[in-house]
Homo-oligomer: A and B are copies of this chain.
Amino acid sequence: MKQLLPDPAQFRVNGRLWIEGPADRFLGIGRLELLQHIRTQGSISKAAQAMNMSYKRAWELVSSMNTQAREPLVSTQTGGQRGGGAHLTEAGVQAVAEFEALQQRFQEFVTQETARLRG
C-alpha cells in the first residue's frame, strides 16, 4: 500500500471489534467502557453520566448483556432502578478481563498491519 500513499507515515489501519450473539451484540468497546465505569462508580446512573449516555440507554445495554450471558454481568441492589447501586458480578469481572485481552490482541493486529502498510 505504501507506494499508493503520498506520506505513508500519516496513514494507519484502524477498526472495531465486538462479540455478537444470535439476537444482538453482546460485548463491544462501548459496553466494555460501561462495565468499567459501573465497576468504578458503583452505579448505572453515575456510569451513564460519566459516558454522556442516557440512563435509559445504559440500562438497555446492561439488560442486553445480562439477558445474553449465562449469569448476569451486573447486579443491581434494591432501592429502585435509579436509587440502588450496581456492581459487577464475578461473571462481569471475568467478561471485562477477557474482552480487554481480546482488545489487546486486536490492537497488536492493527499495529502490525499499520507497520506493514507503511512498508
Contact among B1, B91, B95, B102 for A13, CB-based, below 8 A: B102
* B18 x A11 contact (CB < 8 A): no
User: Which residue on B lies nearest to A110, using beta carbons?
Assistant: B17
Contact among B1, B70, B102, B106 for A19, CB-based, below 8 A: B1
What's the dominant secondary structure at chain A's contact region?
Answer: mixed
Task: Please indicate the chain B residues that have their CB under 8 angstroms from the CB of A117 in the complex.
Answer: 19
Report how many residues on chain A are interfacial, defined by Cβ distance under 8 Å. Answer: 36
Q: List 17 A-B contacts (CB under 8 A).
A: A4-B73, A4-B91, A4-B98, A5-B21, A11-B19, A11-B20, A11-B22, A12-B20, A13-B19, A13-B102, A14-B18, A14-B20, A15-B15, A15-B17, A15-B18, A15-B106, A106-B109
Chain A interfacial positions (CB closer than 8 Å to B): 1, 3-6, 10-22, 26, 68-71, 73, 91, 94-95, 98-99, 102, 105-106, 109-110, 113, 117
